[in-house]
Amino acid sequence: MILRLINLFLLLAISVGAQSITNVIPLSRLPAGGTFQGVAGVKGGIDQYSTNYSMFCNVKVSIPGTTNIAYGDGVHDDTAALNFAVNAATNGSYVYVPTGTYLISSPISRSGTYNYDLVQHPFSIIIRGDGPTNTVILNNGNGNAIALSYALGFGQWGSVTNSARGSTNIGIFSGSGMPVVNQWILIDRPNSVANVYLPPPNSTPPFYYVYDTATGGGSDDQMVRITSVSGHAYSIDPPLNEGYGTNDAVWGCYSPPIRCGIENLGVVQLQENNVHNIRLIGGCECWVRNVESRQARGYHISLEFCGGCEVRECYVHNPFPNLDGADAGGGSDYGITLGFHSSSCLVEDNVALHCRHSFIMETGAGQDNVIAYNYGHDNLNEGLFETDFQEDTDYHGGEQRYCLWEGNVVPIIRADTTEGATKYVVYFRNYVRRDGLPTVLSNSGAAVNAVVIERGNYYDYILNNVYAATAAVGSPPVYVLGGNCDAPTAFDPAVITNSVWIGNYDFTIGLVDQSTNGVIYWTNSEAAAFPSSLLYVSKPSWFGTNVWPPIGGDLSIKTSLIPAQTRAQGMSDFTNIISDGYTLAVSTRNGSVVIPGNGSYFNSAMIALSAVPNSNHVFSNWSGYPMANSSSAFTYLTMPAGNIAVTANFISNIVQAVYPPFNLQAKPPSGN
């Protein structure tokens, strides 16, 4: 991938008077409430719901409505038991999945009920384990591991009344199955009135613009929560960020998941199918918390059409371990993803390792999203651990607006135009490490920059971030602006003139920057007075003893560890050296063995093995290398840093007939 390098004027400027942050970012380019505080995530916090749900069942003990239970032994197929429990659970309850290893062959999923009565039937449940290393779901099927979704896709409810920016009331005058309180709905503006970026003539349009036009919608969308209903009048929160007219549409779904949670468990993908480990579709103030996701062939955690949802304290890592040119390629091994209009979602305090993109908004993610205080490290592409390009991307486009990136520690800040552009995005107090795998750092064209913002991304604010010195060869520039990966000869100067850079500290030269009239200067003094956070009024309690604020060009110590980094330092995954190409040789007689891929994997990968006997034989055991269960025909192993061989042993099940010996003594002759 070739990016056009934009040579910026790197000029030393004299000291200037500091501005306040409100003078730097006009109120018109912040969320309509004038702040990012309280705009994203579950209102009031997850615990107010999570701690008040009652237990529906312990899946290992009994499940109301069935005699089936889950074994959690990694051998029995627990799909039926887990699915029954999740779908039978009553609103306000949780399904307890205690310590164990649960093998599944199809998704654990629940969708809202559609009774053809044109009435909403939302559901509110939690799937809860004992912790990500104690309760482990092994997905040996070809679908998503865990998915919560609405009953039917988005349908149109007609048009809204004229509503100005900042409005908390709308009118909806047509449709059936009208939305209910606490449901999130989508307000859609046509591209023709939404100032949507279009590429130059004779240039390939962004994917998401084409997608939205084909489906009759627009790219500029915001999801809002219904707080009260009176006839056709609906009160909403958060306020509208942009004015809407009678030609704009309201979209929604039937029977969505509302205040549902997936928490305290681990998920591992064992088969090479391009599916997700955790998927929320149409979620309203739902959450994924304290989940470990491993070996995603699709996305580790994907939020689509979600409003006010939250992903926190999760650890997502490693692609599917088959070096075939597809794993960790486009659409594969994404970390935590916000897409398809998702708005007011919070992705916070998570760790991502060996993902293509650690934390990303794409496919038209909506407005008021916040990605904060996450740690992403050593990103991959389809070369896996021989990756030769810094793939991490924050925005894939689709007109995300009024979003915040704060306090993250990542290899690069990148907003590309793969699926469109962005507007009114703030990058604040992030630490850009400009690092990567050794094969990335040794490639002069690997894009180990600090910030890459491609054409069409306008009115962004890059403020008080810190850029590490890089060990990459070729001295790649700090900024690459206005180019396009699919059109390397294109250049959009408006990326520079329409956006603002202030106070970003570069360790390489020991200076901070400031932009004026399309020129970025470097100076030895801050040009603005920055608050500790745009997201919090004061240090949040979950930050513990870590320094607050942890990052900033205005600090005497420019970078301190965020909690996600502190956790990562205690993980062996961050110190182990991982390489591709270790082989798993399988031998057998009187049967066969099924393994994923071609038998070549990276160390630490979990590899599934399934022994299939020939006719008149049965499986006996595995030998040659330790397995999770050597006496089970289906099992798995963890790949070491070396080649190994295993044997599947079978025995005949033909029963040999045993006959008593015959007495062949001659019979004496009869008498005369």
Tell me if 145 is assigned to some domain: yes
* Of 450, 400, 449, 407, the residue nearest 425 (C-alpha): 400
The answer on 289 and 382 residing in a single domain is yes
What's residue 667's pLDDT?
56
Q: Is the domain of 122 the same as that of 192?
A: no
Residue 562: the pLDDT is 98
Give the per-residue pLDDT at 668.
57
Does 478 fall in a domain? no
Strand 220-230 relative to strand 233-237, pairing: antiparallel
From CA 644, how far away is CA 75, in angstroms rounded? 23
**17-54 per-position pLDDT tens digit:** 455 676 789 999 999 999 999 999 999 999 999 999 99
pLDDT band at 657 (very low <50, low <70, confident <90, very high): low
Q: Which residues contact 297 (CB under 8 A, 6 or more apart)?
A: 269, 271, 272, 273, 274, 275, 319, 320, 327, 332, 333
Q: Is the pLDDT of residue 132 over 60?
A: yes
Instruction: Establish if 100 belongs to a structural domain.
Output: yes
**If you average pLDDT over residues 160-173, what whole number do you get?**
83
pLDDT confidence of residue 12: 33
Work out the average pLDDT over 601-614.
96
Q: pTM higher than 0.85, yes or no?
A: yes
Residue 202 lies in a domain: yes
The CATH number covering residue 205 comes to: 2.40.30
Q: In the listed set 252, 274, 301, which residue is the last one of a domain according to the structure?
A: 252
b/e map of 367-393 (b: 16 or more CB within 10 Å)? Answer: bbbbbbbbbbbbbbbbbbbbbebbbbb
The DSSP code sequence of 68-105 is -----EEEEE-HHHHHHHHHHPPTTEEEE--SEEEEES
The pLDDT of residue 359: 97
pLDDT in tens, 212-255: 554 555 678 899 999 999 988 899 999 999 987 766 778 878 88
49 domain-assigned: yes
Return the pLDDT at 9.
32
Q: Which residues, 6 or more positions from 666, have their beta carbon under 8 angstroms from its beta carbon?
A: none
Whether 407 and 372 have beta carbons less than 8 Å apart is answered as yes
Q: What is the CATH number of the domain that holds 300?
A: 2.160.20.10
Q: Choose between 14 and 563: higher pLDDT.
A: 563
- Domain tally for the chain? 3
Rounded mean pLDDT of 564-578?
95
Does residue 71 share a domain with residue 46? yes
Measured CA to CA in angstroms, residue 262 lies from 72, 78, 93, 228 at distances of 18, 18, 12, 27
E strand map for 191-309: 220-230, 233-237, 249-254, 261-269, 278-281, 287-296, 299-304
Omega within 30 of 0 (cis) for the link into 321: no
SS3 563: helix
Q: Is 426 within 8 Å of 393 (Cβ atoms)?
A: no
User: What letter represents residue 16's amino acid?
Assistant: V
Residue type, 595: I
CA 624 to chain centroid: 37
160 and 246 both lie in a single domain: yes
Cα 41 from Cα 55, distance rounded (Å): 24
Please name the amino acid found at residue 66: T
Cβ-contact 463, 530 below 8 angstroms: yes
User: Do 147 and 173 sit in the same domain of this protein?
Assistant: no
List strands edge to edge, sheet with 108-111. Answer: 108-111, 146-149, 278-281, 299-304, 334-339, 357-362
Q: What is the pLDDT of residue 672?
A: 47
Q: Which two tokens stand for residue 400?
A: 């995300």
Domain range spanning residue 186?
A: 153-252
| Whether the predicted pLDDT of 207 surpasses 80 | no
Chain centroid to CA 436: 20
Residue 161 has pLDDT above 80, yes or no: no
Peptide bond into 238 cis (omega under 30): yes
**Do 252 and 275 touch, CB atoms closer than 8 A?**
no
pLDDT one-digit tens code per residue, 575-593 = 999 999 999 999 999 999 9
**396-438 pLDDT tens trace:** 888 899 999 999 999 999 998 888 889 999 999 999 999 999 9
Sole residue written with tokens 């709905």: 185
209 and 285: one domain? Answer: no
Residue among 540, 549, 131 at smallest CA distance from 315: 131
Nearest to 480 by CA among 446, 509, 447: 447
- Given 218, 252, 286, the domain boundary residue is 252
Q: Which of 230, 252, 274 is the last residue of a domain?
A: 252
Tokens of 507: 């360790």
Tokens 């929604």 locate to: 252
- Same-domain pairing of 259 and 382: yes
Q: Please give the mean pLDDT across all residues of the chain.
A: 88
Q: What is the mean pLDDT of residues 88-117?
A: 92
- Give the whole-angstrom CA distance, residue 79 versus residue 382: 31
Residues 362 and 346 in one domain: yes
Residue 447 lies in a domain: no
125 and 261 share a domain?
yes
Residues above pLDDT 70, as percent of the chain: 87
∠ CA 416-421-427, rounded to 5°: 70
pLDDT at 178: 77
pLDDT at 159: 63
Residues 68 and 85 in one domain: yes
Cβ neighbours of residue 643 closer than 8 Å, sequence gap 6 or more: 582, 583, 584, 585
Q: Name the 3-class secondary structure at 386.
A: helix
DSSP per-residue letters across 459-488: S-EEES-EE-----TT---SEEES--TT-T
The answer to whether residues 134 and 160 belong to one domain is: no
Q: What is the pLDDT of residue 526?
A: 80
* 3-state DSSP of 201-221: CCCCCCHHHHHHHHCCCCCEE
What is the arrangement of strands in the sheet containing 220-230, beginning at the earlier edge strand? 152-159, 249-254, 184-189, 220-230, 233-237, 169-171
266 part of a folded domain: yes
Q: DSSP letter string over 158-207?
A: EEBPPB-TT--EEEB-S-SS---TT-EEEEEE-GGGTT---PPTTSPPPH
pLDDT value of residue 192: 66
Q: Is residue 273 part of a domain?
A: yes
Structure tokens at 121: 């039937």
d(CA 208, CA 418): 8
Q: Are residues 192 and 293 in the same domain?
A: no
- Residues 301, 323 contacting (CB under 8 angstroms): no
User: Who wins on pLDDT, 668 or 410?
Assistant: 410
> Which pLDDT tens digit goes with each residue over 637-649?
999 999 999 999 9
